[in-house]
Amino acid sequence: MVVKALMVMGVIFALYAVFIAQVKPYWSISHHKEQQDNQIKAEKYLYDYRQEHGVVVGSSLSSHLGNLPGIYNLALDGLSSLDGLAIVMKQKSPPRTVLIEINFIDREENTSFTGLVNNPVLKPAKRLFMSMRADKQPLSVVVEQLQMTLDRLRAPFIIPDPAVPGSATSAQQASRYTELLTKQLERYAQAPAPGVFEQQLGKLRQAVSLLEQQGARVVFFEMPVDCRLDDSPRAKAVRVAFRQYFPQATYSYVPRPACAAYQTADGIHLDAQSVTKYSYFLQEQLAKHKR
């Protein structure tokens, strides 16, 4: 029985691996599953992307940045730049440019995530078998199909809600925004705990110096947030600490644009329009840095 079951598993796996390798299906799975999104992002970077180009590392604040030619967005939801760097640093060839988001550097590295991505057994297996990667999970495809069916069934019953100014929806959205912003104001009212923060900055300094030794160009940037948070004790403390550990005379920084020019969805995450706007701004600044 044991041998038969193992043989069945071998056959199914082989068939699935051949299917994935030959058909190379694009399954836009995940969303609402932070860890899986992060894993897919990391795996695409490790196995599909030419790593000698540039890379952005950061938190969910920069995870939706796009339109950066030759730069892979490895910013991870719920994590920090250090998690992205833990993946980048394990590569044989370092990227030419590394963009490091500074906003949430005080978050400790999620070693269970980086350990999984850098696992010495799984990493070569996933490189070899595309079918073992997170974006090729067969049950996720079933979920995708079920979701589309449910959405189709639901569609006739959904009443479009334009959220025009002055409408009930608009008022609801404004009240939710205030609620979310209040939570962020509480969070930003205090500077990061000194012990952990300094430890994280120390780790970052080590990683940056190693990258520079390998010829990488490191550029720091700060994602814009709501203006009421931009001037908060937390944001100020992060800036001061960065200037101490990475003096502006020695390290490259993307200049901080006026926060009023950007809109956020919850105080800290830019809305879709502003994310595009900031991506273009970042692109321009990188071009200047190159010159």
Pick between residue 36 and residue 274 the one whose CB is nearest to other proteins: 36
CB of 137 to other proteins, least distance (A): 5
Q: Is 187 in the site for other proteins (CB under 8 A)?
A: no
| H helices, E strands: number in the chain | 11, 5
Q: Is 13 in the site for other proteins (CB under 8 A)?
A: yes
Structure tokens at 177: 């925004």
Q: Is 127 in the site for other proteins (CB under 8 A)?
A: no
Which class for 152: exposed (0-12), middle (13-18), buried (19 or more C-beta within 10 A)?
exposed
* Other CB atoms within 10 Å distance of the CB of residue 163: 13
Stretch that binds other proteins, among 3-11, 63-71, 90-98, 241-249 (CB under 8 A): 3-11
Pick between residue 175 and residue 190 the one whose CB is nearest to other proteins: 175
CB of 46 to other proteins, least distance (A): 16
Q: Site for other proteins (CB under 8 A): which residue of 111, 119, 167, 178?
A: 119
Kindly report the CA angle at 37 between 264 and 266, in degrees rounded to 5? 15
Report residue 221: phi and psi, to 5°.
-145, 155
Q: Is 7 in the site for other proteins (CB under 8 A)?
A: yes
Residues making contact with other proteins (CB under 8 A): 1-2, 4-9, 11-13, 16, 31-36, 39, 112-113, 116, 119, 121, 131-132, 136-140, 142-144, 146-147, 150-151, 154, 172, 176, 183
